[in-house]
Amino acid sequence: MAPSADAAAPAPTPPLVPLIATQLKFLLTNSSLPIKVVQIWSGCSSGRYADRFTLGIPFCLDYVYWDFLYNAMHPKVAPDVIFGQGDEGFQPLVDYDESGNGGKSCLAHWDYRDPGGLLCLVEELRLLYIEYQKKLVEKVDDARLKFEISTVLAKEGIEVSMVSSTGRSDEVKFAVPLLDLDLKMMVPGCPWKLPQKIHLQAIFPVSSSYLSVPSAPGLKLTSTPDLKSLFSVDGVKLPAWVDGMCMAEYIPTLEEDLKLQVVDASASIGCRRRFIEALAPAFGRPLEADPESHGSFHFGDFHISGMSLNA
């Protein structure tokens, strides 16, 4: 039923307390991760200012959603944090106290005058959450997964998580960063704000029973959205997963193939630039150009577009 025309419109969200807004802005501007603000609200129904918000924190090729609760009456105090549903076992401050390392937390040295306080807190909690998920996965009673974990977790940047679904067997998801290349440096002048990454997602079913020939994991390549202007992983054909193979064997072959394709795509951008420069004597310098893909150019009344980088 449609609301009555006389029904009051929902009240707009009040602005954040300036001190809190400064910290949130610093976080969004300076974080190397694509953190999302999901919602902002006030802890008081009649409050002049909002003082809490939900952030989407990137983790294992997905997001975890945490609530950060400040107090508008005492904005100089560090926020409380509520973690997502299903993460009741993640209690980083309790673990700090039990290990005697509480003094190492940025919360122990919270300074409201430091605009980077929230960023420091988010980064600290995210690292602790990564370790928490690793410990959960290490407890899984699955010989194959224990072997995979022991052989690949040493690779820098790998994240793992338990995936539980109602009516389905538990799964373990690996997010493996690929290619030790500075992709931004390969495309000079590209306006990428955040680091560009390619990951292999591998999902293994959890099985406590022994299988002589375990099934292949679910494999998928993913990349940061902006990278598609240089190279799209959608068209990459993954190497076959041979029976008895493990990720420590699979990843080097995949990286070798992928590196060749990325280097070729980067070189093609240089070719397109030289092509456009060669047109300058006849058509003049481009008035407009796509700064990311270099696939669309305007020379006065003359227009070139649709130049695929993967061609």
The pLDDT of residue 118 is 98
Q: Do 293 and 182 fall into the same domain?
A: yes
pLDDT in tens, the chain (311 residues): 444 555 445 567 899 999 999 999 999 999 999 999 999 999 988 789 999 999 999 999 999 999 999 999 999 999 999 999 889 999 988 766 666 666 778 998 999 999 999 999 999 999 999 999 999 999 998 989 999 999 988 888 999 999 987 777 889 999 999 987 777 666 666 677 778 889 999 999 998 776 666 788 999 999 988 888 778 888 889 999 998 899 999 999 999 999 888 888 776 665 556 555 555 565 555 544 454 444 554 444 444 454 444 43
Q: Do 237 and 156 fall into the same domain?
A: yes
The pLDDT of residue 303 is 46
Domain-terminating residue out of 133, 156, 181: 133
With contact defined as beta carbons under 8 Å apart, do 163 and 172 qualify?
yes
The pLDDT of residue 189 is 66
Residue 210 included in any domain:
yes
Q: Do 170 and 297 fall into the same domain?
A: yes
Q: Do 288 and 147 fall into the same domain?
A: yes
Domain-terminating residue out of 108, 133, 158: 133
Helix/strand/coil (H, E, C) string of the chain? Answer: CCCCCCCCCCCCCCCECHHHHHHHHHHHHHCCCCCEEEEEECCCCCCCCECEEEEEEEECCEEEEEEEECCCCCCCCCCEEECCCCCCCCCHHHHHHHHCCHHHCHHHHCCCCCCCHHHHHHHHHHHHHHHHHHHHHHCCCCHHHHHHHHHHCCCCCCEEEEECCCCCCCEEEEEEEECCCCCCCCCCCCCCCCCCCEEEEEEEECCCCCCCCCCCCEEEEEECHHHHHCCCHHHCCCCCCCCCCCHHHHHHHHHHHHHHHHHHHHHHHHHHHHHHHHHHHHHCCCCEECCCCCCCEEECCEEECCCCCCC
Q: Do 208 and 124 fall into the same domain?
A: no
Q: Do 296 and 157 fall into the same domain?
A: yes
Q: Do 154 and 297 fall into the same domain?
A: yes
**Residue type at position 172:** V
Residue 12 included in any domain:
no
Q: Do 193 and 45 fall into the same domain?
A: no
Residue 6 included in any domain:
no
The pLDDT of residue 63 is 97
* Paired sense of beta strands 171-178 and 198-205, if any: antiparallel
Indicate the number of domains in the chain.
Answer: 2
pTM of the model: 0.80
Domain-terminating residue out of 74, 106, 133: 133
Residue 13 included in any domain:
no
Q: Do 160 and 266 fall into the same domain?
A: yes
Question: In terms of residue numbers, what domain contains 58?
Answer: 18-133
Q: Do 288 and 216 fall into the same domain?
A: yes
Q: Do 50 and 162 fall into the same domain?
A: no
Residue 292 included in any domain:
yes
The pLDDT of residue 37 is 98
- Cα 175 to Cα 159: distance, rounded to the nearest angstrom: 5
The pLDDT of residue 173 is 97
Q: Do 145 and 262 fall into the same domain?
A: yes
Residue 4 included in any domain:
no
Residue 250 included in any domain:
yes
With contact defined as beta carbons under 8 Å apart, do 247 and 148 qualify?
yes
Residue 124 included in any domain:
yes
